[in-house]
Amino acid sequence: MRKAAVALLLTLALTSTLASCGTVAGVGEDITGASRTVQGWF
């Protein structure tokens, strides 16, 4: 049950990310921004 919930959450996150970007370049920019944010935490 827990694996299914995690898979659903990841699928929803990926879908919303792709829908909001509109292009492959936009996805790359979003991933770069997210990775910089995570690096800032450490």
Over the stretch 1-42, which tens digit does the pLDDT of each residue have? 788 888 888 888 888 776 766 666 676 777 888 888 888 888
Whether the Cβ atoms of residue 2 and residue 10 lie closer than 8 Å to each other: no
Indicate the pTM of the whole model. Answer: 0.45
What's the angle, vertex CA 41, arms to CA 40 and CA 42, rounded to 5? 90
- Which DSSP helix (H) or strand (E) runs through 18? helix 2-21
| Backbone angle region of 22, left / alpha / beta, with phi > 0 → left and psi within -120 to 50 → alpha | left
